[in-house]
Structure 1
Amino acid sequence: MWTILGLVIGGFVLSGLFRTSVESDFDARLRFDLEGMIAAAEPGPAGQVTLRGRFTDPRFERVYSGWYWQITPEGKDAGESQISRSLWDHTIAPTNTVTRNGVQWSRGIGPENQHLHIVSRHVEFPITDTPSTKDTRSYRFLVASDSTQLEAEVARFNTTLLWSFALLGIGLIGGIFVQVRVGLVPLRRLRIALARIRDGKARQLDGRFPAEIAPLATELNALIEHNAEVVARARTHVSNLAHFLKTPLTVISNEASAHPGPLADAVTKQVGTMRRQVDHYLARARVAGAVSTIGNRTDVMPVIADLARVLRRIHAERGVEIAIDGADALCFRGERQDLEEMVGNLMDNACKWAKGRVAVSAAGMPGAMLEIVVGDDGPGLSLEELSRIGERGERLDESVPGTGLGLAIVRDIARLYGGSLSLGRSSLGGFEARLALPAII
């Protein structure tokens, strides 16, 4: 935009300068002809004026040529004007006269409505056939030219200028476009490299970059490495915290078991609650660190297949059949351990309640998301039970092994990844869980 604006302003400036130059030359020619005509004037004894033959110019001889001269007597001796042949039977009446540098500049209308540019001058000649030597006769010498010629010259220049600047503008815009495209190639490569890291296809920015971009690539690599180190340290601290908390809880639980009684039962119950809460919040802390790590990706179907294989062995005595379905290309934007924990909880829960069939399917969703659906043919849940299930520590059947934290942990992990968990009734007749997670397209 600034380039076009600069060209437009430059065009107006050049056009104005050219017009000024042409008008100056035009005025100089008119004044030159006026001075030549005055020099060729030859006064007679009575003060009358005639032009010597040396003031002959074909322009003033051709009728309505656009170049004219006129000599007009002034004062008390005013009479008929002498005119050039080119005026034929017309005379010129100047208007809007302005005096500049000793001559008068005017405008006027000539033959065939020509717009004339006029220069004139008053000249007095002595009368020699009278006794007084102070008697003079005044004349107005006038030279005029059709300004259409000037305007045509300016118009030709403006047309040439317009085409030249148009071609120059197109060339400049094209050059700028090419320069920007070429100049942004390293940034596009950098963007593609960052996308590969985000999608888990690379760990760092690889490749050579120009000197101007190389420091940015170096800083980004350092930032990615620092982020990974921070997450690794956080996981170490979480692991240490789990160890430090679980060991005293185990000691307290063992001491309570060694001294049966109401107090021991209360201690054992509270220790169990503390363990569940510790497990829950430690899992959330670990996942929060994992989510902030750039470049994690996990193939979905291999994880589901591995979990199905393990759960078939665990529930072999009950003969639970686990059917899986999904596209091999599905990728979860996150860590394998988190996907295993979420899907494993859902599949294990389905196997515990199923009569004999569990169905697991995975599919892509709009908005770079994927959905994993786990359903069973168990007894299912009522609307009231569906509203209660998923709360931390909420168990609907104490006879089934578990802590009551599975669905709560799944929901928390899914939310940390920007996903969701919804519960309902399966097409198999039992319970169904739908897990939505971010995907890598």
Structure 2
Amino acid sequence: MGWRDLFHSATWKRSLALRMTLVAIVWSVVALAISGVILVGLFRDSAERHLDDRLKTSLDGLAGSLVAAQRGSPLEGDSLAEPEFKLPLSGWYWLVKDGRTGIVLWSSDSLYGDALDVGNTPADGEIHARYLEGPGGVQLRVISQVITAPAGTGYDVTVAGNAAQLNAEVMTFRQSVFVTFAVFAIGLLAAIFFQVRTGLRPLSRMRAALADVRNGESDRLTGDFPIEINPLAQEMNALIEANLKAVERARANAGNLAHALKTPLSVIINESRTEKGPFAQKVLEQAATMRVRINDALEQARLAAERRVLGAVSDVGSSLKGIARVLKRAYADREIDIEIVMPKEMRVRVERSDLDEILGNVLDNACKFGNGRLRVSMEESRSSQTGRDFVIVSVEDNGRGLTEADRKTALQRGRRLDESVPGSGLGLSIVHDLVEIYGGTLDLGESALGGLAVRIGLPSV
């Protein structure tokens, strides 16, 4: 993956740590590179000024010798401090030209008869510095100045020094800066990673605290969070408390409504049964319908309240064993055989009362419509679409089963496929609603025992 793909990838957009790290790395690299260029430039300027000072000292010596020559003394270039002016083609040269004609009057022994084309210097009395190529292709640092002797004669004086030493010093300094900054960059990268991990650690603690709430190990976010994210933790705790209060309020309202309607409806049904005639029969039918609708509405209100419950965690095995004991006593005359295959302890993100209702309805139907044998098995599975982990509970019986059309009808509220068996027809539909609310799945199929197989998928912990 290239840098362009990395910066535009979903990982870059979704990862706060990656964005912070990459931005810090890019900024650090750019800052170090700019600092290195500036430092090398400053060092070169300093080294260049130092070389110019050496050349100016030699130029001043030549100027003094010219004044002495005007008084009749010979021009003493040998008096210059730099011994390189005597070595042939050393890269250190001087020459004096006639300021008017440009003819070379004197030159250093180091030129060894070679020519040094320095051009004409402006007669403004200022020192002019520049680079040019000397004998043998060597780069020279040159300073020139037009000097007017007391007799009025003008001399174009030029002093040149080998720039190779200057370039070598700059290269050495550049390498030192590169090595130093490379070591500094490694330490800086380590500091960046440490800073990002340390800075984002409170978010990891908040995520762990939220996981504890979801797993039922805590009822609120606990921990000492920084002031930047502490308001978020407080808002989440307030939301959790508001949801819990809404659940309790919905449950209380549902219970009050059930008690308020239960007695009047029972009176209507009982009175209708004592009367004969089509009117009484019609009232009885409508009262029964009202009972189904009221149960339906109460169940929907309870489900809506349960949907807002956070941190609900239940053990599937203990729920199954408790329901199995109750059903064996309830169907003691049929000697129901309930086999539970449980490889290990499994927990789901479902309230215990809802889990008991889901499994209780399914197992009760298996007992009613089976022929005395039930097998309950559990396994873990991961959704290929969402990546979430589920516990799959399979309930199989050895009854006559259902056709494909009947399986669809069985999930409809209030529909009963076998009128000979008592019931309201709400069992599987309630199971379907509960499972759907918790983000699970419910499938009906054929059992290896010959009857119906109900597969329930619930989010695992």
Q: TM-score, normalised by structure 1?
A: 0.89
- How is 1:285-296 mapped onto 2 (pairs within 5 angstroms)? 285-296=301-312
Does 1:342 pair with 2:358?
A: yes
User: Which position in structure 1 is the counterpart of 2:286?
Assistant: 270
The corresponding residue for 2:396 is: 375
The structure with the largest alpha-carbon Rg is: 1
- What corresponds to 1:169 in structure 2? 185
Tell me the residue number matched to 1:196: 212
Residues 47 and 265 from structure 1, CA distance in 2 versus in 1: closer, same or farther, beyond 3 angstroms?
Answer: farther
In structure 2, the partner of 1:130 is none
Aligned length in residues: 431
Question: Secondary structure of 1:374's match?
Answer: strand
Q: Distance in 2 between matches of 1:301 and 1:53?
A: 107
Q: Which whole-Å CA distance do the structure 2 matches of 1:217 and 1:157 have between them?
A: 53
Partner of 1:133: none
CA 30–15 in structure 1, closer or farther in 2 if over 3 Å, else same: same
Give the direction of change, closer, same or farther, for the CA distance of 1:52–1:363 in structure 2 (3 Å limit).
closer
Within 1, Cα distance between the matches of 2:403 and 2:234? 57
Q: Is the 8 A contact 1:324 1:359 kept in 2?
A: yes
- C-alpha distance in 2, partners of 1:294/1:206? 15
Quick check: 1:34–1:143 contact (8 Å CA) kept in 2? yes
Q: How does 1:202-351 map to 2 (within 5 A)?
A: 202-209=218-225, 216-351=232-367
Residues 281-318 of structure 1: per-residue CA shift (max 9 Å, x gap): 32232123223211110000111111111111111112
Amino acid at match of 1:72: K
Find 1:397's aligned residue among 396, 399, 418: 418
Letter in 2 for 1:35: D
Matched residue, 1:90: 114
Summarize the Cα distance change of 1:302–1:99 in structure 2 as closer, same or farther, 3 Å threshold. farther
Q: Distance in 2 between matches of 1:125 and 1:47?
A: 13
Identify the residue that residue 142 of structure 2 maps to in structure 1.
118
Cα gap change, 1:52 to 1:182, in 2 (>3 Å)? closer
Residue 49 of structure 2 is aligned to residue 28 of structure 1: no
Matched to 2:113, the amino acid is: D
The AA in structure 1 aligned to 2:48 is E
CA RMSD of aligned residues (A): 2.7
In the TM superposition, 1:39-188 aligns within 5 A as: 39-42=64-67, 50-51=75-76, 54-76=79-101, 79-94=103-118, 102-125=126-149, 137-188=153-204
Say whether 1:427 aligns with 2:448: yes
Task: Give the counterpart letter for 1:116 in structure 2.
Answer: L
Partner SS for 2:339: strand
Q: Give ranges in structure 1 of 5+ residues lacking alignment.
A: 128-135
Q: Is the 8 A contact 2:122 2:146 kept in 1?
A: no
Q: Structure 2 CA distance, aligned partners of 1:98 and 1:7?
A: 42
**SS of the residue 1:397 aligns to:** coil
Cα deviations by residue, 1:398-436 (Å, 9 ceiling, x for unpaired)? 111111111111111110011121112111111121111
Look up the SS of the partner of 1:50 in the other structure: coil
| Deviations, residues 69-120 of structure 1 (Å, cap 9, x unaligned) | 11123545x5454221222222211269789972333432223211112111
1:132 alignment partner in structure 2: none
Give the match for residue 364 of structure 1: 380
Which sits farther off after the overlay, 216-225 or 4-13?
Answer: 216-225
CA offsets 1:148-178 (integer angstroms, 9 cap, x no match):
2222222222212222222222222222322
Counterpart AA for 1:412: D
CA contact under 8 A between 2:140 and 2:163: conserved in structure 1?
A: yes
SS of residue in 2 equivalent to 1:82 = strand
2:121/2:145 contact within 8 Å kept:
no
CA-CA distance at 1:56 after TM superposition: 4.3
Gap change, CA 1:363 and 1:96, over 3 Å in 2: farther
Residue 409 of structure 1 pairs with residue 433 of structure 2 = no
* Structure 2 runs not aligned, ≥5 long: 1-24, 383-387
Question: 1:164, 1:98 → 2: CA distance?
Answer: 44
Q: Hey, what's the Cα distance between the residues in 2 that align with 1:46 and 1:99?
A: 23
CA distance in 2, matches of 1:45, 1:198: 103
Change (3 A) 1:101 1:190: farther
Counterpart in the other structure of 1:11: 36
Which residue identity lines up with residue 27 of structure 1 in the other structure? D
Against the structure 1 CA distance between its residues 322 and 149, is the aligned structure 2 distance closer, same or farther, given a 3 Å change threshold?
A: same
TM-score relative to the length of structure 2: 0.85
**C-alpha contact 2:66 2:149 (8 A) present in aligned 1:** no
Asked if 1 retains the 8 angstrom alpha-carbon contact of 2:97 and 2:105, the reply is yes
Task: Give the structure with the larger helix fraction.
Answer: 2
What residue identity is the alignment partner of 1:60? F
Decide which moves more: 268-277 or 22-31.
Answer: 22-31
Judge conservation of contact 2:400–2:451 (CA < 8 Å) in 1: yes
CA distance in 1, matches of 2:414, 2:236: 43
Q: Kindly tell me: are residues 329 and 386 of structure 1, through their superposed partners in 2, closer, same or farther at Cα, counting changes over 3 Å?
A: same
Segment of structure 1 superposing worse, 101-110 or 279-288: 101-110
Shift of the 421–114 alpha-carbon distance from structure 1 to 2, 3 Å rule, reads same
